[in-house]
Chains A and B, each alone.
Chain A
């Protein structure tokens, strides 16, 4: 299969998974929280296509509801982080001077902070009586708000290169206003970098949410996410006895690979 076909295939797979997540309520045979306590850790069967988890909940239902949570909210968080990185990084790269120094210092400081502990502290500050849906929104918002520094460095480097470019010098020399320079010259040239950062951030946020959920900090029970589904893999010997528990991992790996295959296409088209 050549590269182009592979990209199309990846896009189709991603779309199919997105659609599955969007229509989870229709596709799923059971509610994701329903516990079939008479059959915990059941093997796949016609009643439970991917078997059940340790509490007897249908794994297929939880997987597709988890897909909705992880794959809809991770891009939203990635968009937020990329926007923040684009605005701050573009501004620092274009303007330079003390403004650039302040923004970069703030970025370095943010990168030096252990994200996990920051999230831990912020989660502890949230009220306890928020619903699982609000909790998951809050988690991804925090990821978006705290996940911009590494993207900012890339955007800033690209913007700084553009600042010294001949065409921007020419634009400034012909009396173009700063807003016109940003909209007509800077942004179109930063677009491939921003797209790349956006696509790279999605799997990063999916994996971060998975890590947070494994620590009990992300999506709270009974709402499923890929993260808390991956917690079922902690007991490796139980997994070898019940290999169908690997299904969330398989889906996560598939999505990350698909994103990585699509990514070069974005860079080239831009």
Chain B
């Protein structure tokens, strides 16, 4: 409780200091954790390119990362038809791309055509695909664009947060942008330099042009330790995501620079292989297919200890597929994941297991023993596996832990299914449940416990399939929410994924950066980059 209050006080203090200390201009300096694969916003599918896209791209509708509400951006307003197939945008007038080319409905039409062209292979475009047929874009006026999809698209307006508008006429093509910055220089393996877009449409409350900062320098640095070292030396002003250990160390040195934005959307999860194709003994398949067995395992895992020991307290026990930070879609009626080894043992006894001489055996006398696999090199997951090993030994279950290189692990969980149980993380960047379709539909490739089913193997999976399809076409958000709440309820009852923890979003922001309000949504620390200012750089109090 104390830390959020401290951060709040610090933010308030910095906000009060803004008129005196902060100034316009200057260069914001931080790191990308990989090489951007493309600067073409419609082809983005990696984190580094996504960061550049966010900083440079202009969109029709922007998701406010703090309020999690949609806000007008290049479109002043929009409306969706009753059948949820057509969205009509009313565009801002007098807007120009970074190279001076004017913006209008033709640019929207051009962008949508490119996005939906199968030859483009755009992952952003894939999220708009709702059924067979083509997407029609009508431009009845220079400031009106109507887009009609072949079938209803759930959460349609949210998808436009990722759809960066390209110029139909600019000779610079995708390098002409409508966002706060444009790419001015790029040296492969070294840096990306972004300069302030002189034609950016947004203004502050006093009518001054945004962004306040003149340029953003993004150094390409994969090594997180070097990034931290450079931040401590004052060479960087921001670290967009820190590991718990790094955060704790930095907080110990200088609490003024660390910010905990709260519980993030990402989860670590544990699941048993339930694929009929898995080359496992029949008795193991019977255990893993038993709801009581999975629930007992869940109850026997001490999530609070995982949060405290593995993540130094910067994580929260996970409830289910949706993090509590996802304000709208989280089902608050779900029960807390309670740690109850005695309750777990009772549940196992009721399911026909026997506890003899500190060993759990099934009806046929087979000792309950299984192997958990995870990817090597991930210290947190290895610690989680080792702690689960001790937790489950208390209910007489022997767990072996095996770490595998990532390609071998993926081979086992997606192709051969030759594993008992697995621990991996789920990276979740989309608030909308449609982003999880591939996980929850029984035919989905990411339906990890039993992927790519021809028809649902169980009644509860059939119900989830039905609910997920219904929510995708439901006319109102309220109806969609009710259906996805039920999905979360079923997942909580059946535990096909045993959710373990949700990590906190931890960032570092130098005191010279004024106006930073880190949030739990990507891009955590610089989502409001157009309103950030740079003040004088005080000494961080660490060795140069």
Binding site for B on A (CB under 8 A): 33-35, 37, 40, 54-56, 120, 123-124, 128-132, 135, 215-217, 220-222, 231, 234-235, 237-238
Partner of A221, one of B308, B370, B382, B411: B382
The reply to whether B386 and A216 contact each other, CB–CB distance below 8 Å, is no
The reply to whether B419 and A54 contact each other, CB–CB distance below 8 Å, is no
Residues of A within 8 A of B382 (CB): 216, 221
A33 to B391, CA, bound (A): 12
What are the nearest 4 A-B pairs in CB distance? A216-B376, A216-B403, A124-B408, A128-B371
B245 within 8 A of A: yes
The reply to whether A37 and B376 contact each other, CB–CB distance below 8 Å, is no
The reply to whether A56 and B377 contact each other, CB–CB distance below 8 Å, is no
The reply to whether A238 and B400 contact each other, CB–CB distance below 8 Å, is no
A216 to B404, CA, bound (A): 7
Given contact pairs A54-B309, A129-B371, A220 touches B403 in the complex (Cβ within 8 A) = yes
The reply to whether A128 and B420 contact each other, CB–CB distance below 8 Å, is yes
A35 to B376, CA, bound (A): 21
Chain B interface residue count, Cβ-Cβ cutoff 8 angstroms: 31
A131 to B389, CA, bound (A): 13
The reply to whether A215 and B376 contact each other, CB–CB distance below 8 Å, is yes
Q: How far is the CB of B248 from chain A (nearest CB, A)?
A: 9
Q: How far is the CB of A95 from chain B (nearest CB, A)?
A: 40
Q: Given known contacts A40-B309, A120-B408, A221-B386, what 16 new A-B pairs fall within 8 Å (CB)?
A: A33-B389, A33-B390, A35-B387, A120-B405, A124-B405, A128-B402, A128-B418, A129-B369, A129-B400, A217-B376, A217-B405, A220-B401, A221-B382, A221-B401, A222-B389, A238-B245
The reply to whether A221 and B385 contact each other, CB–CB distance below 8 Å, is yes
B305 within 8 A of A: yes
The reply to whether A237 and B377 contact each other, CB–CB distance below 8 Å, is no
A54 to B312, CA, bound (A): 10
B383 within 8 A of A: yes
A129, A131, A132 pick with most chain B CB within 10 angstroms:
A129
A231 to B390, CA, bound (A): 20
The reply to whether A55 and B389 contact each other, CB–CB distance below 8 Å, is no
The reply to whether B390 and A35 contact each other, CB–CB distance below 8 Å, is yes
Q: How far is the CB of A63 from chain B (nearest CB, A)?
A: 17
Name the residue on A nearest B280 (C-beta). Answer: A129
Name the residue on B nearest A222 (C-beta). Answer: B386
The reply to whether A216 and B377 contact each other, CB–CB distance below 8 Å, is yes
Interface residues in B397-423 (C-beta closer than 8 Å to A): 400-405, 408, 411-412, 418-420
B249 within 8 A of A: yes
A135 to B371, CA, bound (A): 13
Interface residues in B118-161 (C-beta closer than 8 Å to A): none
Partner of B400, one of A40, A131, A217: A131
A132 to B371, CA, bound (A): 11
A128 to B308, CA, bound (A): 29
The reply to whether B249 and A217 contact each other, CB–CB distance below 8 Å, is no
